[in-house]
Amino acid sequence: MPSINARLDEVAAVIDRVRRDQPLVHIISNWVTMGDVANATLAIGARPGMAHAPDEIEEITRAARALVLNLGTPSRERIEALLRAGKAANASGIPILFDPVGVGASSFRKDAAARILGSLRLAIVRGNAGEMGGLAGIAGTQSGVDAARADYDRAMVVKSRAEKYRAVMAVTGTTDFVSDGTRVAAVENGDSLLKHITGAGDMLDAIIGACAAVEREVTVATMTGLLWFDIATECAARSTSARGVGSFRVALFDVLGNLNAEAIQRNAKFNCIPGG
């Protein structure tokens, strides 16, 4: 893996390209969080497409530069829509990020995630500790959509899942771990207030998707999205307007739009794990 300084130079370049190119990202998001996801995407300078209707989903996907698939609040119709959009993206060479929301919470979610993982070529899979544990078959890592246990070796699991699915895998939490199946990096930015707002992970998905829209090196795109979002949360939490969960949420949108690449380089806390 290149040196940390080299990676930070690449991160800065990706941020600049997102703001310059304003890529269209098709995001099939959770119904609960669609508004915040769209606003976060706009805040960083990208353009969100949020189509769900089967009659247009493939056409909208083909017009985009990246696709974000969020398992969200699943139904049979939603799963079919995710698969149709994903197949259109694969046919057009568009990178796909998949978020297996609550994959360990029910057999229905587990089966749906297995279909998506088995049917589509995914560039990135991003989940919390419970979701990544669920993909790895670790019992008891998830008891609800957001409930997660992290008492397993997340660096090892994220690397093994990247090898299995041939995609860059990211597991997020107090420390984020990213792997391409060969190497593992850890990101230690972020703020605990994220646990108290709905849709933090969904917003992160969209930001990583926007980075993948302008950066072919998927690991770099994923690291950029993580650092951009995590450092923004730190700045929002420190801001004088963030006096509680509500003001933190508003401040986060402001910071996402105003944070410059130099501040991200200066505040980034990540390292490559030896042997990972």
Write out pLDDT tens, residues 71-124. 988 899 999 999 999 999 999 999 999 999 999 889 999 999 999 999 999 999
Work out the pLDDT band at 151, boundaries 50, 70, 90: confident
Domain count, the chain: 1
Q: What is the CATH number of the domain that holds 14?
A: 3.40.1190.20
Residue 2: per-residue pLDDT: 43
Residue numbers of the domain that contains 65: 4-272
Task: Count Cβ atoms below 10 Å from residue 93 Cβ, excluding itself.
Answer: 7
Structure tokens, 93: 């060479």
| Structure tokens that stand for 38 in this block | 């769209």
